[in-house]
Amino acid sequence: MTNFTEDSYFILDAYFDAGPTKYLFFLLLLSLYSLIICANVLLIVVICVNRSLHEPMYMFLCSLFVNELYGSTGLFPFLLLQILSDVHTVSAPLCFLQIFCLYSYVGVEFLTLAIMSYDRYLAICCPLQYNTRMTSNTVSVLIAVSWIYALLLVAVTVSLSSPLQLCGNIINKVYCDNYAIVKLACSDTTLNNIYGLISTAFTAFVPLTLIFFTYMRILKVCFSGSKQTRQKAVSTCTPHLASLLNFSCSGCFEILQSRFNMNNLPNVLRILISLYWLICQPLFNPVLYGLKMSKIRDICKCLLYSKVNTILS
């Protein structure tokens, strides 16, 4: 049995010897990380600087973009370092820090998407009450609660897993995963498993239930409302639904891969499945909302054109 100390470490066994092509993978991931940072920072600045975007929907989007930066920073630097490394090990404290970052990122993502669906529900189904119910204080409280709630839930998860006695230290992934560590435990993990189910329910299933309920109400209003109401609902809800489906479906694939034996799949495919929901969502959201939201799109165009004119003049 192994007790965790400051010198404990894990071996990430999913990496394979890519030879000289590892430098190509490094450059691809570095380019993707740079693109994610630039896209999310640009939209955060656009929303914060322009007073016309100081509305609840855009404030929630700003929180979402901040979360994409947070989750990406918890993953990409670690991946880049491991790709260049010939020995794929990670210390226990750093491993649990990454688990905390990635799991809280997932929690904030689901909660923010749920809050955004509630915001759209009020705007479409209760337009006359929207400004009184979705005040600036309410927006601030909802954003703060989504972050604090997710961080506290994951802090408990990590505090339950870190003292476990382990019979091994090999994680068959390219990043640290709490469920993989719990499976290595020699000691009783009943509490970990029960809390894992509870925290999953409160960070994923409860928000998804709220989203389902709000969209049922939105669809009911759309079918019984005017053409203008339907157009407004489609234009504001399409990006949100696309983001939700992308994140939820890719997350389901990752959960299935973690819970069931997928050794018959090629190693590269398993790595791509496990990374997709953590890599693509931070790039998918700013591109999607930047293109679909007319206000954001128009302001970005104005900024770009003004910079080009300044350079030419």
* Structural domains of the chain ordered from first start: 9-312 (1.20.1070.10)
User: What percentage of the chain carries pLDDT values higher than 70?
Assistant: 90
- Least confident residue range of 13-22, 66-75, 121-130, 163-172: 13-22
For 107-129, the pLDDT digits (tens) are 999 999 999 999 988 988 888 88
Kindly tell me if the per-residue pLDDT of 261 is higher than 70.
no
Residue 32 confidence (pLDDT): 93
Residues 76/255, Cβ–Cβ less than 8 Å: no
Provide the residue type at 36 as one letter: I
Confidence bin at 248 (pLDDT 50/70/90): confident
Say yes or no to pLDDT of 160 above 70.
yes
Please list the alpha-helical segments (H only) found in the chain: 22-49, 56-84, 92-125, 130-133, 136-161, 178-183, 190-200, 206-224, 227-259, 267-292, 294-312
Q: Are 158 and 182 in contact (CB under 8 A)?
A: no
Would you state the structure tokens that stand for residue 111, as one six-digit string?
């909660």
User: How far is Cα 11 from Cα 144, in angstroms, rounded to an integer?
Assistant: 36
Q: Which two tokens stand for residue 46?
A: 């656009």
- 3-state secondary structure (DSSP) of residue 31: helix
pLDDT at 253: 78
Query: For residue 71, what pLDDT is reported?
Result: 94
Angle at 274 between CA 268 and CA 280, to 5 degrees: 100
d(CA 258, CA 245): 20
pLDDT value at residue 236: 74
Question: Residue 6: is its pLDDT beyond 90?
Answer: no
Confidence label for 7 from pLDDT (cuts 50, 70 and 90): very low
How far is it, in rounded angstroms, from Cα 96 to Cα 304? 41
Pick the residue with more confidence: 231 or 78? 78
Q: Is 61's pLDDT higher than 50?
A: yes
Q: Is the pLDDT of residue 5 over 50?
A: no
Q: How confident is the model at residue 305, as a pLDDT?
A: 64
- CB environment 160-173: b (16+ within 10 A), e (fewer): bbbebebeebebbb
Beta bridge partners, 9, equal 91
